[in-house]
Chains A and B, each alone.
Chain A
Amino acid sequence: MSQAGFDNQKQSDIAIPIWVKSILVIGIGLFLSQLIGFPSILSDSIEKNRAETAFANGNYPEAIENYEKLLTSYPKDKNLIKNLGLSFYKQGLYYQALRTFEKLEGKEIPKSDVKVIEEAIENMLKQF
């Protein structure tokens, strides 16, 4: 908040205290330290975005390619595993889909995802 109209105590300026400067210094330090890994996380995010776009557009071969690349860097990412499994399923690659969904066994995943995966597995088992 700024309050105007204090004429009685004329002072040209007030120095910025060290503790205020240190908040900025800590922020800049953290920012610079995180900047080191930024190029790789940016390229991974671009890859993920491409994979999601391909999946949404029904371009499953491209989605599979991108999700597989991402899973080499993030092998425990449940969302990537789920989407890769669904891409295999949509592409008709049931064996690979089942092998992918197996990786989610024992892991906590949202109920909505469980439902989608269960439906896919049911459909695949009917085909066998």
Chain B
Amino acid sequence: MFIPGSVISVATFPGVVIHELAHQLFCRAFKVPISEVCYFRFGNPAGYVSHEKPSHWTHEVLISAGPFFLNTFIGAIFSFPVILKTNFGVLSFADCLLLWLSVSIAMHAIPSTGDAKCMWKAVSGNNAPLIAKLIVSPVVALIYLLSLGSYIWLDLIFGVAICFLGPTLLVQMLS
């Protein structure tokens, strides 16, 4: 089923907000000045962070990849107490709210193609050594592939998988 990206962004807006917050926090961590932050808007992209060029290519790559770490982490943590309740179908309104929040945040963990462009720009030309290009190029390719995968709901599948993985593994380990 095709649902426009803007509708998905609205339905999962906390994920977009945390995605942009991740870029902002990584900028802060590397002391990169920020000129503008848009946490959410009706449009494409649904959010953005404008910042100065970082002094080192690793900083640019990590700023672009920031949402992968922060959204995945927050999504996985928030979902932990509620996922196991789905086994018994005893979800309250608060459970459903937390589940929606967790999946929304986790499904926006994948960096956007705009982020991939920034990563590529950071390592292209004489900006970075060959090893940097070798590390970053498969990541950029993967991001583009995952971006195409969003047409088959790969971002949602990723979000749900992140939320279910931890609690499911814990139960398997303790059984």
Using a CB–CB distance below 8 Å, which chain A residues touch chain B? 1-14, 16-17, 20, 23-24, 26-27, 30-31, 33-35, 37-38, 41-42, 44-46, 48-50, 53, 74, 77
| Residue contacts A-B, CB under 8 angstroms, 21 given | A1-B114, A1-B115, A2-B63, A2-B64, A6-B36, A11-B33, A13-B28, A13-B34, A14-B34, A17-B39, A20-B17, A23-B14, A24-B74, A26-B101, A27-B105, A34-B98, A42-B84, A42-B170, A45-B167, A46-B171, A77-B89
Cβ of B45 and Cβ of A11 under 8 Å apart? no
Please indicate the chain B residues that have their CB under 8 angstroms from the CB of A6 in the complex: 35-36, 50-52
A42/B98 contact (C-beta < 8 A), A1-B45, A2-B64, A10-B52 known: no
A46 to B48, CA, bound (A): 43
Please indicate the chain B residues that have their CB under 8 angstroms from the CB of A37 in the complex: 81
Cβ of A1 and Cβ of B172 under 8 Å apart? no
A30/B121 contact (C-beta < 8 A), A20-B21, A23-B17, A48-B87 known: no
A11 to B172, CA, bound (A): 49
Cβ of B51 and Cβ of A3 under 8 Å apart? yes
Residue of A nearest to B54 (CB): A4
Would you call B155 an interface residue if the criterion is a C-beta within 8 Å of the partner chain's C-beta atoms?
Answer: no
Give the one of B64, B88, B97 with max A CB within 10 A.
Answer: B88
Give the one of A1, A2, A41, A46 with max B CB within 10 A.
Answer: A2
